[in-house]
Amino acid sequence: MTSDAEPPSASRTDPGGAAAPDAPDATDATDTTGAASEAATSRISRRAAKRAAKRRSALRSVIDWVVVLAVATSIALVVRAYVVQTYYIPSLSMYPTLNVGDRILVLKAAYRFTSPATGDVIVFRAPSTERSMCDSPEVDDLVKRIIGTPGDTIWSVGNTIFINGHVLHQDWQHVNPLGPPAIKRQTVPANDYFVMGDNHPASCDSRVWGYVPRGNIIGKAVLIFWPIARFSII
């Protein structure tokens, strides 16, 4: 009598009787390819992000510089218009205080809260009659020293200037003789100023063309800054 037995399981053998390895799984190959593709895409994205960040940084730098230059230019214009301005001296009318070629700093805000005083060196708009009455370089602005202020009675005798009956002691450098022309006795009107150059005999000033209105004064000359050898406070 024979007993029932399970049929032997089927297995693949190669002709030599050895078991054949399993064939590669197509799903694994697909996963590997997908991972490589994702990695490459990620690298490209990172590089693109870095380039975009650099472009944004460069743009921000350009914008920052534009803003800085705009602000600096605005400040410079405001300072020049309302605070200080530089001027070049073209003549010897203020010698020896100022020489030809000197560059001076004029404080425009000097008289914002105070009034011009005797002895101040000021820059002002040239009167319309100055060009026709004076043999001097054609300029829009002049620089002179205040001798008489509003209400002062002024005149001269020889080389001596009198203000309200008292001798004007010129504590600044100047050139004598005083004239011609001499200073005729006169009272300076309100809001006007009588000015002269320190080089008295070579200056065309209030003795010739009259007073300087307060509104024509640009500012007070405070500093010679060029040439360096003449650097000094006026």
Active site residues: 93, 144
At which residue do the structure tokens 């994702």 appear?
A: 38
- Strand spans (E) along 99-159: 103-107, 121-125, 141-148, 153-157
CA distances from 7 to 4, 10, 13, 18, 19 (A): 9, 9, 17, 20, 19
Cβ atoms 121, 89 nearer than 8 A = no
| Spatial separation of the C-alpha atoms in residues 221 and 123, rounded to whole Å | 7
Beta bridge partners of 138: none
| Spatial separation of the C-alpha atoms in residues 141 and 108, rounded to whole Å | 13
User: Among 206, 214, 216, which residue's Cα sits nearest to residue 115?
Assistant: 214
- The 8-class DSSP code of residue 159 comes to T
Cβ atoms 151, 184 nearer than 8 A = no
